[in-house]
Amino acid sequence: MYVCICNEVTDKAIKHATDSGISSMKDLQNSLNVGTSCGRCSSCAKKLLKEYLSSTVTMELNAI
């Protein structure tokens, strides 16, 4: 699903970015340009970032 129409950023791209070590909205903006045009997607992108980061932490904790 597209999260950012302006910059054609999908939820999968955000997931891939978090899997690659992106951990802040600023880094996500620098990496994918999400939220850098009209800004309407910023809250959704932040929500997904938070969700994906918490699932990554859970997965890492389960691997211990």
Binding site for ligand FES (CB under 6 A): 4-7, 34-41
Cα–Cα distance measured from residue 38 to residue 61, given in angstroms and rounded to the nearest whole number: 37
Q: Of 6 and 53, which has the nearer Cβ to ligand FES? A: 6
3-state secondary structure of 11: helix
Minimum gap (Å) between residue 58 Cβ and ligand FES: 27
Cα–Cα distance measured from residue 3 to residue 43, given in angstroms and rounded to the nearest whole number: 10
Q: Of 40 and 47, which has the nearer Cβ to ligand FES? A: 40
Enter the tokens of residue 59: 């997965």
Minimum gap (Å) between residue 57 Cβ and ligand FES: 26
